[in-house]
Amino acid sequence: MPKRLFRKYLPTPERIRENKSLSFLGAVLGDPNLWHVNRHSLAGAAFIGVFTAFLPIPAQMMVAAILAVRFKCNMPLSLLLVWITNPLTIAPVFYFTYRIGAWIMGMPPHVPEHVSFVWLVEQLGPLWLGSVLSGLLLGVIAWGSVKLVWRFSVVRKWQKRRDERRLREA
């Protein structure tokens, strides 16, 4: 079941190859490992996609694609999960990660009367710290969730087969 579920909602290899922002990958997109739907490939892709979504950088999809190629994870899922931070969610997500970073660093999160370039640069530390820690934590949770859902599905199939076999023998 997880295979069909993921295949149903993931973009096709052709659709990703047509994406202009990923054209720099060229022939690498032909690697079949990038399109496999198995628990290892999907779990790694979930981690990469969620972690990359929390990085406060432009071109998150490019970073996710490069990491998916490097670690041979399912590229469509990696790219899909990057959209956790989209134009509607980016401000609240990065405000949340900034607050986490500021809390860890013991900095009071405040806006001065006169916002200056120096003040903005000072705020990058808490933003990056909170973003990386949030991305790592939520990426590990996504990785574990995929592994867990896959395992439950396999166990359910085994139980169903065992029950069917018992009914036939009885």
Can you give the pLDDT at residue 1? Answer: 52
Domain of residue 10 covers 2-169
| pTM, entire model | 0.80
Among residues 105, 136, 146, which one has the least CA distance to residue 123?
Answer: 105
58-98 pLDDT per residue, tens: 999 999 999 999 999 998 899 999 999 999 999 999 999 99
Per run of 10 residues, the mean pLDDT along the chain (length 170 residues) is 65 70 68 81 96 95 92 91 94 93 87 79 90 97 95 91 88
pLDDT at position 27 is 67
* Helix boundaries (H) for the chain: 2-9, 13-17, 39-53, 60-71, 75-82, 90-105, 117-122, 124-169
User: Mapping DSSP to helix (H, G, I), strand (E, B) and coil, where does residue 111 land?
Assistant: coil
The answer to whether 79 touches 64, Cβ cutoff 8 Å, is: yes
Determine the angle formed by the axes of helices 60-71 and 39-53, rounding to 10 degrees: 150
| pLDDT value, residue 18 | 72
Q: How many CB atoms sit inside 10 A of residue 54's CB? A: 24
When divided into structural domains, the chain yields a total of 1
pLDDT of residue 56: 94
Q: What is the per-residue pLDDT for 7?
A: 67
Q: pLDDT value at position 3?
A: 65
